[in-house]
A and B are shown apart, each in its own frame.
Chain A
Amino acid sequence: MSQQTSLTYAKVNEDVIRMLDKPTVKWLALFVPTLGVVGFGLFCFLYQVYTGLGAAGYRHPIFWGVYITDFVFWVGIAHSGTLISAVLYLFRANFRMSIYRIAEGMTVFAVLTAGLFPIIHLGRPWFFYWLFPYPNQRELWVNFKSPLLWDVFAVSTYLTVSSVFFFVGMIPDIAAIRDRVTEKPRKILYSILSLGWKGSNWEWLHYTRAYLFFAAFATPLVLSVHSVVSWDFAMANLPGWHTTIFAPYFVAGAIFSGLGMVITLTVPIRKIFSLEQYITLDNYDGMAKLIIVTSLIVGYAYGVEFFMAWYSSNPAEWGQFYYRATGEYALFYWIMIFCNVVSPLPLWFKSVRRNIKALFIISIFINIGMWFERFNIIVISLSRGFDPASWGIYKVSWVEIGITLGSFAWFFMFFLIFIKTLPAVSIAEMKEILPVPKKEAKGHE
């Protein structure tokens, strides 16, 4: 970490808290249009509630379309946040220090976005609470054997635990902001959020221990959540869905797409707030290597799906995969292959991994490719089931496009508010990788 030696404890505080200064015109220029797009998404949703789900382009036999694609996409985006904050914490990978807060924020906001889609997808969204088990006058309970209910438990647990993890990680940093701001309203806000943190040895003793447990809980949780999401499909007896490789395939894809999104978000933030000393090329190098690994797993899964369909001699299964690569949706299939398997290949070269522009472009491709992966799995499988009499084509409607755009804006809206109100780089953890200030042998650990 040679680039970080010029940093001192005080400089870290100053640089991170400087990001929270009054919003600039540039920030507002981003924020206001974002709100506009969120408004358009809301309008589309209200139109759909008023008109009915036909507005969403749902036609026989396809009743899971863009909304479920968006749901799986956003849950996937959420995954790398927990990977970077919890799994790499347990492995003591120092390259996570500078980016984990942004990644964690991304997790929370992506789950918040994902959670909307099952509700948007409901015909009567105002009855969404029927999904939760609660005593009611009909004395009915939810069906715990349904994968859709597992999803309710998995996603709501994930939202709760990742929010707690996000918040607890920020407590010492919020205290640092509290000690520095002077305006009364901000002082009161940060004082409440810091929960009276003082950084005494008592607090650190329990804090470091509790943080370890949170990481230890979040690690299996993150693997379980996308496995459960994959079982929404794998438990159904449909060609293209009913396969045992779905859980690891989805988890690897989730981490892959999430890392893409982390790069897409951190590159502009690093530039705008001059965080080159914090988010270093080594950090990007580490993420790019993880992208290679997950891209290979995803690429292998694409191949194995075809192999299993062919080797099983199951005509419905083989017909499904043959159709994916050559049928009406073939363009989407090959976009997916290009974006997820071919476009990350240049990352094998060190010079590409350390080239911010190249990384940014590849990360955009990954985001696009992973959205299409979910679309392909969901829509193409549904459009060609067992019985040729029930085959059909699905066309995306403007309402769905509006709501999808709205969901991206909704996600960026939270993110923009986050970088102006909370510390986007962890102050305390950045200090942990700096040399400890000592009188004797200064500058060495």
Chain B
Amino acid sequence: MNNQGVLGIFSYVDLTVNAVKKLKEEGFKTIRVFSPVPNHEIEDVMGEPESIVRFFTLFGAMLGASCGVGFTVLTSMDWPLPVSAKPIVSIPPFIVIIFELTILMGALSTLLGLLINSRLRRNAPVDMYDPRFSEDKFGIMVACDKGNVEKVQGILNSHGAEEIKVDGI
């Protein structure tokens, strides 16, 4: 049962990255790294699969384009406005509407994808945070069972954590 959370606070990226490496070697799976800026080294060491937000974007954009086509074509046919011999369904002017709806729905579904996937509300079994993470500190949170708390504390300590907090249910 991973119901204990251990949080280590660091000042330097390289120390944080080394500590994560060690924790991974020791077999800890539920690790979260906090940082004030996105950082490639942290991203590399965490090795998370690529973000699936892109599928939300793709799906939203395709849905928007289909809505644009459907909307313009069907409403034009529903109430035809014949102007001399010009076509009722005239594609060039509709492209503008289709284009705008593609972007609108693509962007909104990207937002939805971001909100769902980054789990802005809750992102681990145990929730730990320190306000300094939005300023200049880096943090590692490990969720583990009771017996492993001391081991995790030892690893964080030996890798230069400045402060360690333990929390659990």
Contacts and interface: CB of A to CB of B under 8 A. Distances in A.
Contacts of B15: 439
A421 to B, nearest CB: 18
B100 A9 contact: no
B147 to A, nearest CB: 25
A157 B107 CA distance: 10
A18 interface: no
Given A199-B36, A437-B136, A439-B14, A206 B75 contact: no
Given A145-B93, A432-B38, A179 B131 contact: yes
Contacts of A13: 134-136
Contacts of A205: 43, 48, 51, 118
A266 interface: no
B94 A144 contact: yes
A25 interface: no
B34 A164 contact: no
B81 A160 contact: no
A383 interface: no
Interface in A379-396: none
B36 A428 contact: yes
A217 B103 contact: yes
B93 A144 contact: yes
Interface stretch (A190-198, A309-317, A341-349, A363-371): A190-198
Contacts of A143: 81
Contacts of B113: 206, 210
B12 interface: yes
A149 B93 CA distance: 10
B164 interface: no
Contacts of B129: 198
A202 B136 contact: no
Interface string B70-98: 01100110110100000000100110110
A208 B101 CA distance: 24
A440 interface: yes
Interface of A: 8-10, 13, 133, 139-146, 149-150, 153-154, 157, 160-161, 164-165, 168, 172, 175-176, 178-180, 195-210, 213-214, 217-218, 220-221, 224, 228, 428, 431-432, 436-440
Contacts of A203: 118-120, 123
B133 A214 contact: no
A204 B38 contact: yes
B117 interface: yes
Nearest to B138: A437
A89 B159 CA distance: 36
B103 A161 contact: yes
A10 B107 contact: no
Contacts of A220: 99, 103
Contact of A214 (B37, B110, B123): B110
> A-side binding surface: helix, strand, loop or mixed?
helix
B135 A439 contact: no
Scoring B51, B107, B121, B133 by chain A CB atoms within 10 A of each residue's CB, the highest score goes to B107
Nearest to A151: B96
A217 B135 contact: no
Contacts of A224: 96, 99-100, 103
B48 A201 contact: yes
Contact of B35 (A176, A201, A217): A201
Given A164-B111, A202-B123, 13 more contacts: A8-B136, A144-B76, A150-B100, A153-B96, A168-B114, A197-B120, A199-B36, A202-B118, A206-B113, A209-B51, A210-B114, A214-B107, A217-B103
A202 to B, nearest CB: 5
Contact of B135 (A9, A150, A168, A438): A9
A202 B119 contact: yes
Given A9-B136, A141-B79, A206 B160 contact: no
B34 A199 contact: yes
Contacts of A221: 100, 103
B149 interface: no
Nearest to A440: B14
A221 B90 CA distance: 22
Contacts of A9: 36-37, 135-136
Contacts of B50: 209
Contact of B118 (A145, A176, A179, A206): A206
B115 A195 contact: yes
13 contacts: A9-B135, A10-B135, A141-B78, A146-B93, A153-B97, A195-B121, A209-B54, A213-B106, A217-B107, A224-B99, A428-B36, A436-B39, A439-B15
